[in-house]
């Protein structure tokens, strides 16, 4: 049997071992905690100073996604730790979209303050003007000449069956193989400013959406007027495009629109020169009798009623004129050749011939 001394000597030994284990565990825990604290502290330190970075934060970007972008651009060291820092500070919910100039080496709180304030920089933009009465092909040529688009890609998109996002007006375009260009008349003439990196699709979408915005400026109840006149929205834009290409003097837009309605109601061919010009491969300075025989659904000297679609992009003034034409008994008009670009109107063909003679006398 073991002696009493043997029992008494083993107790302190076990105690020393237990104490050593506890101290070792505590030491390990302190080292781990210290390492973790150092890792967090180091991760939240500013990065090395560097060149200013432009950071584009799109609308709807979450705080976590912003943190990832900051790390990708070298603005912060560790997005994982930064996300927890935002939660600890109850930040990130007020970050605003836009383009920011941020520098590596910025303090975290300075970055957060800038994002909360929406302290953005203006995006580099392109600016272009589409004149009233331009056709789609003229628009494509102008934008291509200004090196804003690839012409062929632009034309291809124009001919496609895309819905163009939330744009409403373009949804009224009929599915017809008679249409010369699908979006003709639906690219609103205006001066536009867009981001420099805008694509052909972005530009088209912006222009068809602008038509929606302009239509919102029309008097309330204008769609009821279409129902009363028994015409579609597509017909309205078509008539407006005819007015746009025929009229220069604003005061005459509603009068010419009235003549168009009068001729349709009476079953007369519209015989509008602008539709013949649109039918030709290349518009001419002057039309000849043979040109009036061109075989095209847009040639209103040969077809009855309206052409299949618009022949140009009408202004809001022309759209209003087509919507609210001036009532009259006129069926004819001829351009004065005195340089005024106004018209002489007639009720009968005989009177119209006299107006043509009168106009010729004022030429030169």
* CATH at 78: 3.30.1490.480
- 308 φ, ψ to 5°? -60, -25
Nearest to 339 by CA among 305, 364, 316: 364
Q: Look at residue 12 in the predicted model and tell me its pLDDT.
A: 67
Partner residues linked to 192 by β-bridges: 128
Say if residue 356 is in the same domain as residue 288: no
**What's the whole-number average pLDDT of the chain?**
90
Cβ–Cβ < 8 Å for 276, 362? no
CB atoms within 10 A of CB 180: 18
Place of tokens 């809001």: 316
Q: Are residues 211 and 148 in the same domain?
A: yes
Task: Choose among 256, 264, 286: nearest CA to 273.
Answer: 286
The number of beta carbons lying within 10 Å of the beta carbon of residue 178 is: 12
Both 235 and 320 in one domain: the answer is yes
- Cβ-Cβ contacts under 8 Å for 211 (sequence gap 6 or more): 167, 169, 170, 186, 187, 188
Is 39 part of a structural domain of the chain?
no
Instruction: Look at residue 155 and give its three-state secondary structure.
Output: helix
Nearest by Cα to 172 from 217, 215, 140, 134: 215
- Cα–Cα distance, 188 to 98 (Å, whole number): 27
**315/232 same-domain check:** yes
Total number of domains in the chain: 4
pTM higher than the cut 0.95:
no
**321 and 347 belong to one structural domain:** no
The predicted-structure confidence for 317-350, as pLDDT tens digits, reads as follows 999 999 999 999 999 999 998 888 899 999 999 9
Specify whether 231 is located in the same domain as 263: yes
- Cβ neighbours of 76 (radius 10 Å): 25
Please say if the pLDDT value at position 7 is more than 60. no
Which range, 14-18, 38-42, 102-106, is most confident?
A: 102-106
Assigned domain for 6 exists: no
For residues 260 and 308, membership in a common domain is answered with yes
Per-residue pLDDT band at 275 (split at 50, 70, 90): very high
334 within domain boundaries: yes
Query: Looking at residue 238, what is its pLDDT?
Result: 98
Which of 135, 126, 100 minimizes the C-alpha distance to 281? 135
Residues 144, 94 share a domain:
no
**Nearby residues of 154 by Cβ (< 8 Å), 6 or more positions away:** 140, 143, 144, 200, 203, 204
Banded model confidence at residue 261, pLDDT cuts 50, 70, 90:
very high
Residue with tokens 């291809």: 156
- 335 and 320, same domain (yes or no): no
Same domain, yes or no, for 179 and 266? no
| CB contact set of 104 (below 8 Å; sequence gap of 6+) | 46, 47, 48, 49, 50, 51, 53, 74, 75
Residue 97: give the domain boundaries: 53-117
Asked if the structure places residue 99 within a domain, the reply is yes
SS3 of 120, please? coil
250 within domain boundaries: yes
- Per the model's pLDDT, the better-predicted residue between 43 and 297 turns out to be 297
Whether residue 81 is found in the same domain as residue 108 = yes
Domain for residue 186, yes or no? yes
Burial of 139 (0-12, 13-18, 19+ CB in 10 A): buried
- Please tell me the distance from the alpha carbon of residue 161 to that of residue 165, in angstroms, as a whole number: 12
Q: How far apart are CA 135 and CA 189, in angstroms?
A: 10
Are 219 and 226 spatial neighbours (Cβ–Cβ below 8 Å)?
A: no
Banded pLDDT at 265 (limits 50, 70, 90):
very high
Contact 211, 188 (CB under 8 A): yes
User: What is the per-residue pLDDT across 212-232, written as a single tens digit (0 to 9) for each?
Assistant: 999 999 999 999 999 998 999
Say if 92 falls within a structural domain.
yes
Indicate whether 92 and 141 sit together in one domain. no
Residue 335 burial by CB count (10 A; 0-12/13-18/19+): exposed, middle or buried? middle
Assigned domain for 187 exists: yes
Q: Using an 8 Å Cβ cutoff, are 90 and 155 in contact? A: no
Interval 172-205: pLDDT, tens: 999 999 999 999 999 999 999 998 889 999 999 9
Quickly list H helices, the chain.
Answer: 4-44, 63-72, 79-89, 108-117, 136-145, 151-159, 200-215, 222-229, 233-246, 253-265, 273-279, 316-323, 349-361
């Amino acid at each position: 049997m073991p002696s009493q001394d043997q029992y008494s000597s083993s107790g302190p030994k076990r105690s020393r071992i237990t104490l050593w284990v506890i101290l070792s565990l505590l030491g390990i825990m302190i080292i781990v905690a210290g390492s973790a604290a150092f890792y967090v502290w180091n991760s939240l330190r500013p990065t090395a100073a560097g060149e200013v970075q432009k950071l584009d934060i799109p609308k709807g970007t979450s705080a976590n996604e912003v943190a990832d972008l900051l790390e990708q651009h070298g603005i912060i060291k560790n997005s994982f730790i930064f996300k927890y820092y935002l939660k600890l500070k109850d930040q990130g919910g007020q970050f605003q979209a836009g383009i920011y100039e941020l520098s590596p080496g910025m303090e975290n709180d300075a970055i957060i303050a800038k994002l909360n304030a929406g302290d953005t920089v203006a995006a580099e933009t392109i600016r272009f003007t589409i004149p009233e009465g331009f056709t789609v092909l003229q628009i494509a040529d102008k934008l291509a000449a200004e090196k804003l688009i690839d012409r062929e890609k632009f034309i291809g998109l124009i001919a496609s069956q895309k819905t163009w996002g939330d744009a409403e007006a373009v949804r009224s375009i009929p599915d017809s193989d008679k249409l010369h260009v699908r979006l003709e008349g639906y690219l609103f003439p205006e001066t536009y400013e867009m981001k420099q990196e805008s694509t052909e699709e972005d530009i088209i979408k912006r222009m068809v959406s602008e038509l929606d915005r302009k239509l919102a400026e029309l008097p309330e109840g204008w769609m009821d007027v279409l129902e009363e006149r028994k015409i579609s929205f597509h017909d309205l834009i078509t008539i407006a495009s005819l007015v746009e290409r025929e009229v220069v003097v604003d005061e005459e837009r509603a009068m010419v629109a009235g003549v168009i309605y009068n001729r349709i109601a009476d079953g007369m061919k519209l015989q509008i020169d602008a539709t013949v010009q649109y039918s030709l491969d290349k518009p001419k300075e002057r039309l000849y009798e043979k040109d009036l025989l061109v075989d095209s659904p847009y040639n209103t000297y040969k077809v009855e009623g309206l052409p299949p679609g618009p022949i140009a992009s009408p202004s809001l003034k022309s759209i209003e004129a087509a919507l609210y034409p001036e009532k009259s008994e006129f069926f004819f008009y001829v351009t004065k050749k005195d340089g005024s670009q106004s018209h002489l109107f007639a009720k009968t063909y005989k009177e119209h011939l006299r107006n043509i003679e009168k106009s010729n006398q004022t030429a030169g």
